């Protein structure tokens, strides 16, 4: 028994749990000797072909790849929002005739998937790339920033960047520094949005995330460039539908690998919420953010975002019970511009030897001294989820400061700290002088 890929079938199975039947669309098998079906709920199921006792073909292969395109967008007097496509789950669709996932980034395709967008804004779209987010590099941040700047030049009121979730917070922080790190601000809202569940799944968060992001880009307040609002992340507020958080791009982290509410603002509250269960959608600004906006300094619009040096070597190492001096030395041998150390607690490294029986700790101390002598910046962050780096509390922290270890006083998440280091070095600025200066809201415990 066989059916072409893309056919909809009902099969009878005699398996380990007894006889059962299941219906779905045939996709390429997950393993040899199996038949794999995509169910109506979006999940896949596979069975040994030898366990299939009967098969009924309900319809032929899907014609989804040749369906007619919906009419293109036309001007409607709504705010113009530019969607910048980079890839990721949110901008994907499944072609069941091949089993492959392809990008959905054209305005007509977006409207066919989420027609509600047409009542929120006039949409235009550009494609920067189609990458898994963990494959993005600093050169892609530059390309995305340039696409955002071009969107404002073209008259867009706001920009939505569709992005994979795994490194979405890296890109949000990078764009924040690109547009606001030198004292400016974007001309309008810039929103990073993704989804945890692909659009072909019944539990997908993609449509609501995208609607909320476009609504913020079209109707949210003009960013001040301070308090983390230069670039924001808009994602589900909870596992339930109906509401999305607006999170500061420099103070956000992905906290769960699968949950729809995977993203959280750390050391600070969300800037706002977007409720899309009402018609029209509504925006509610956080009370503190609303008050901060009223006393924000007037920043000039950034016409040309600050680029990142694309080939900067900025390795990371984690302070653990297994950390050894040679780990840091091996990184130093690669010629880095700085080394980021994810320290414990308030930003500590294993450098103490109170009983004289920890020679490996003494060697790490020596490595830090050599780095200081070589003027190689060592920047420490904290592995804790929230809280600042404070090297004044314990004696070992003070000793680290005497070794010129940087990071005391920062309260940004490790990813943002590293991107800030990259930003400052790209501008040719001294880390000792500028690392702890709050540029665009990345140190929320300072304000």
254 is catalytic: yes
The two tokens of residue 408 are 């005391």
- Catalytic residue, chosen from 122, 166, 229, 261, is 166
Question: How is residue 344 annotated by DSSP?
Answer: B
- Catalytic residue, chosen from 36, 86, 252, 254, is 254
CA distances from 428 to 139, 271, 389 (A): 18, 31, 24
89 is catalytic: yes
- Quote the Cα angle for 376-378-379, to 5°: 140
**CA 392 – CA 261 distance, rounded (Å):** 35
Give the helix ranges, DSSP H, for 262-307: 287-294
The two tokens of residue 41 are 């709920």
Q: Are 63 and 135 in contact (CB under 8 A)?
A: no
Q: Are 13 and 53 in contact (CB under 8 A)?
A: yes
User: What is the DSSP code string of 58-88?
Assistant: EE-S--GGGPPPPPPP---SSPEEEEEE--S
Q: Which residue matches tokens 């596992």?
A: 239
- Catalytic residue, chosen from 86, 165, 224, 302, is 165
CB within 8 A of 171, min separation 6: which ones?
86, 133, 136, 140, 141, 144, 161, 163, 192
CA distances from 295 to 248, 271, 291, 292 (A): 18, 16, 7, 5
Q: Are 171 and 186 in contact (CB under 8 A)?
A: no
**CA 162 – CA 128 distance, rounded (Å):** 10
- Catalytic residue, chosen from 89, 224, 381, 416, is 89
36 is catalytic: no
Indicate which residues carry an active-site annotation.
Answer: 89, 165-166, 254
């Amino acid at each position: 028994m066989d059916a072409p890929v893309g056919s909809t079938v009902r099969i009878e199975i005699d398996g380990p749990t007894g006889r059962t039947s299941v219906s779905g669309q045939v996709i390429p098998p997950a393993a040899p000797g199996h038949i794999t079906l995509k169910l109506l709920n979006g999940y896949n199921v596979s069975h040994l072909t030898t366990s299939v006792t009967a098969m009924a073909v309900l319809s032929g292969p899907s014609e989804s790849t040749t369906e007619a395109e919906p009419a293109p967008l036309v001007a409607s007097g709504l705010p113009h929002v530019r969607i910048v496509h980079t890839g990721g789950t949110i901008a994907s669709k499944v072609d069941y005739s091949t089993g492959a996932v392809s990008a959905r980034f054209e305005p007509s395709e977006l409207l066919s998937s989420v027609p509600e967008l047409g009542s929120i804004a006039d949409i235009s779209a550009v494609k920067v790339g189609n990458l898994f987010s963990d494959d993005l590099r600093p050169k892609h941040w530059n390309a995305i920033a340039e696409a955002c700047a071009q969107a404002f030049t073209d008259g867009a009121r706001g920009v939505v960047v569709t992005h994979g979730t795994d490194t979405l917070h890296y890109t949000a922080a990078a764009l924040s520094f690109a547009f606001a790190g030198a004292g400016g601000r974007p001309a309008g809202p810039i929103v990073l949005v993704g989804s945890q569940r692909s659009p072909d799944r019944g539990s997908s968060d993609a449509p609501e995330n995208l609607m909320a992001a476009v609504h913020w880009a079209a109707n949210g307040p003009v960013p001040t460039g301070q308090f983390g609002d230069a670039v924001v992340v808009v994602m589900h507020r909870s596992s339930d539908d109906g509401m999305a958080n607006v999170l500061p791009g420099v103070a956000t982290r992905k906290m769960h690998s699968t949950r729809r509410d995977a993203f959280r603002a750390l050391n600070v509250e969300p800037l706002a919420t977007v409720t899309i269960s009402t018609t029209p959608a509504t925006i509610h600004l956080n009370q503190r953010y609303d008050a901060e906006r009223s006393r924000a300094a007037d920043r000039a619009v950034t016409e040309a975002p600050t680029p990142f040096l694309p080939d900067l070597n900025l390795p990371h190492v984690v302070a653990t019970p297994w950390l050894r001096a040679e780990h840091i030395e091996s990184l130093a041998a690669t010629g880095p511009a700085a080394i980021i150390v994810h320290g414990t607690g308030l930003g500590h490294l294993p450098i103490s030897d109170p009983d004289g029986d920890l020679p490996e700790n003494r060697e790490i101390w020596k490595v830090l001294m050599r780095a200081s002598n070589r003027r190689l910046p060592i920047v420490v962050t904290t592995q804790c989820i929230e809280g600042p780096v404070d090297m004044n509390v314990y004696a070992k922290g003070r000793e680290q400061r005497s070794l010129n270890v940087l990071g005391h006083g920062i309260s940004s998440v490790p990813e943002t700290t590293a991107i800030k280091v990259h930003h400052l070095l790209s501008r040719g600025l001294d880390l000792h002088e500028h690392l702890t200066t709050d540029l665009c809201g990345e140190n929320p415990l300072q304000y």
